[in-house]
Amino acid sequence: MTASVFFRYLIVMAGVTYLIRAVPFAMFRKKIKNKYVKSFLQYVPFAVLSAMTIPDIFFATDMLVSAVAALAVAVILAYREKSLLTVALVSCVSVYAVEFAVRLVS
Tens of pLDDT, residues 36-85: 988 888 888 888 888 888 888 998 888 999 999 999 999 999 999 999 99
Of residues 14 and 1, more confidently modeled? 14
Pairwise CA distance, residues 100 & 23, whole Å: 50
- How many helical (H) and strand (E) elements, i.e. helices and strands, does the chain have? 4, 0
Q: Domain coordinates of the chain in residue numbers?
A: 48-105
Using CB atoms within 10 Å of the CB of residue 90, give its burial: 0 to 12 exposed, 13 to 18 middle, 19+ buried. Answer: middle
**Which pLDDT value is given to residue 47?**
86
**Which pLDDT value is given to residue 103?**
93
Pairwise CA distance, residues 67 & 71, whole Å: 6
- Which of these, 29, 24, 55, 22, lies nearest to 41 by C-alpha position? 24
Q: Does the pLDDT of residue 4 top 80, yes or no? A: yes
Tens of pLDDT, residues 15-47: 988 888 888 777 777 888 888 988 888 888 888
**Which pLDDT value is given to residue 87?**
95
**Which pLDDT value is given to residue 44?**
85
